[in-house]
Amino acid sequence: MAIMHPKNVIEFKNSTEKNFYISLKEQLPDEYDVYYSVTWYDKIDNKKINSEADFIITHRTKGFLCIEVKGGSNIIHEDDKYKIIDNYGDVIYEKNISPHEQAEKSMRYFYNLYEEIYNIKYNRIYGFIAAFPNFQIKQDSNSLFYQVSDTTIDHSDMKNLKKSIDNAFLYFGRNKKNQILTTEHDIKNLNDMFKRVYAVEASKGALIDAKEKELEKINEIENNIINLLMNYKTFAIKGAAGTGKSWIAYKMALSSVIHKEKKVLMTNKSDYLSNYFRTQYDITNLDRLHILSYKELLEKLNIKEKEVNDSEIAPTNKYDVIIIDEAQDFNEEEAFFLRNLTLSESSEFYVFYDNEQNIYNNELDKTLDNFLIEKPPYVLTENLRNTRNIYEWVKIKTKFARQTYTNQIDGPDPQCLVFSSKNQTCRYINNTINTLIKKDEVPIQYIKLIIDDEIYQYFDNVEWNFKYEKNNYSINSKTINIIKTSDFKGLESNVIIYVHKYNSDKNFSYVGLTRARFYLYDIQLKE
C-alpha cells in the first residue's frame, strides 16, 4: 500500500476525495508517498491567496505529480469558464481556469519551492493530473480532455490507478535526461519539502479538523484518568515527555478547587511553567488555588532554602491537596518539606514525574521514596505532543522513552546542525527565525529559542535580528522567548530551536528536544 500523509483523515472535504484517497492507498505500492490536501500560497496583486493541491504523489525513483480532483457528473466549458455539473444539472464548481491548469500551478509552485529550499536545480520528473473519478470523458472525441489522456484520470481508470500514475510519469519524463532520483537523499528532500509545508500550516495555527478531533480524544483520555485517580488519597503518575503529565496535574488542581472546594498547592521547579498554568484559567477568584514554583513558594512562606526543614509552618499555610509536577527535580529534603505542608492525615498528595528528565542529578528511582509513596505509579504510555518524526528521532538519539508509544502524525524530520563557533550558530538562528516569520508567516509567539543552562549566559550579548525577550514568563509575548532548558520543562511550542553543547547531557537534551510539536532545530555548538 502507498504511504499516506496523513495516515488517517478524520474528515474529508467531500466523498469524491475520500474515495480517491482510499483508492490511491489500496492500489499504489509502498514506493509511492501520497499527500492529501496540501496548502500553498499564490500571489495576486501582491496579495497572498490560499491555494491547494488536492493530492501530491511522489515516487521513490521518479519525482512528483500534483493532482486536482473534481466530483460531479460532467464538465463543460462555456462563457470562458470551466463548470462541473452534478446529477441534477446544477453547477457545483465554476472557475476561469481548467482543473489541469490548477494542478499545473501547484506543480510549478512546488518545483520552484524545491529549488528555493535546497538551493539546487530540480532535474527530475514533475507533472500534473486532473482527475474526474465519477464520470468518463476520455473516450469521447468531443471531450475537452480527449487529447491529453495521459494527464487525465476518469471513472474508467479508477480500477487501475497505478497504470494511470505511471503513464503520467512516463509522459512528463519523456524529455528528461535525468528521470531517476538516484540517491535516497534526493527523494528524502522531496518528501521533506511536502512534510515541511504541512508543518508550516500547523505551526500557523491552521489546525485541521483531524487535529481538533485528536485534541478532543486527548482531553477524554486525561479526564478518564483524573476521574479514576481522584478517588485515591495518594498516588504517583509516571510518564515520558509529551504524555500529558503536567496537563493532568493542572486539571486535577482545578477540579479539587472547583468541585471539592479544597485548598490546593500545585508546584514545580520552574517559574515559567507555574506562570503558564496561572494564565490558563481565570484564577483570580480561586483564592484556594496556589500555583507556585518552589522558589515562589518559599518566598510566599518567607523561608530561606537552607532552612526549609527547620521552619515552623502555620496551619493557615498548609493545604488540603498538594500536587507535585516534575517531581524528579526535588531532592529528599525538599520532598520532606513539601509533605509537611499537608494540612492533615486526610490531605491528598499527588506526584507526577519522569526520571529521564532528571536534570538536577538527583538519585534516580528515589522519587517515590522521597515523597513516601508506597504504591507503584500509574504509567502513561502514549506520546500526545510530538510528531512521529520528532519523537522517534529523539528516542534513537537519547535512548530514552523507548517504551512509550509514538504519535502517528507525520511532520518534517528534525534538522540537526553542528557549528564550530558562536558566530556561525547565531547567524543560522537569525536566518532561520527570519525565514519562519517573514516567509512562512509563523506567528512569533509559536517560536521558542531554548538554550541549555550551562551555555545560557554565553549568548548574553548577542545582537539578534528579531524581537526577543529573555526570562520573560509571559506565554503570549509578541516576541521570541529565549529560555533556559530547565525553565521550559513541562511545556511545548510549535517550533523549537534548541541550542546545546555537542554531546551534552542526555537528560537536558531529552528535555529540550521533546518540547517541539511540529518543527525541531537541534543546534549543537562544538568549540
Say how many C-beta atoms besides its own lie within 10 A of residue 370's C-beta.
Answer: 22
Whether the per-residue pLDDT at 482 is higher than 50: the answer is yes
CA angle at 449 for the pair 446 and 455, rounded to the nearest 5°: 165
Provide the pLDDT confidence category of residue 183 given band limits of 50, 70 and 90. low
pLDDT digits (tens, 9 = 90+) for 101-135: 899 999 999 998 888 888 888 878 899 999 998 88
293 phi-psi bin (left φ>0, alpha ψ -120 to 50, beta other): beta
Interval 309-323 mean pLDDT: 89
DSSP 371: T
DSSP 488: G
Q: Which residues contact 34 (CB under 8 A, 6 or more apart)?
A: 2, 3, 4, 5, 21, 24, 25, 28, 55, 56, 57
What cell does 367 get?
522519587
Q: Nearest 5°: phi and psi at 243?
A: -90, 0
209-380 is a CATH 3.40.50.300 domain: yes
pLDDT digits (tens, 9 = 90+) for 395-434: 888 888 777 887 767 777 888 999 999 999 999 999 999 8
What cell does 309 get?
526543614
Which of 206-220, 291-305, 342-356, 422-436 is predicted least confidently?
A: 206-220
The rounded distance, in Å, linking the Cα atoms of 210 and 11 is 7
pLDDT digits (tens, 9 = 90+) for 184-220: 666 778 888 887 776 666 554 443 334 445 556 666 7
Instruction: For the chain, give every domain's residue range.
Output: 3-203, 209-380, 388-525
Interval 144-161 mean pLDDT: 81
CATH architecture of the region 388-525: 3-Layer(aba) Sandwich (3.40)
Say how many C-beta atoms besides its own lie within 10 A of residue 489's C-beta.
Answer: 25
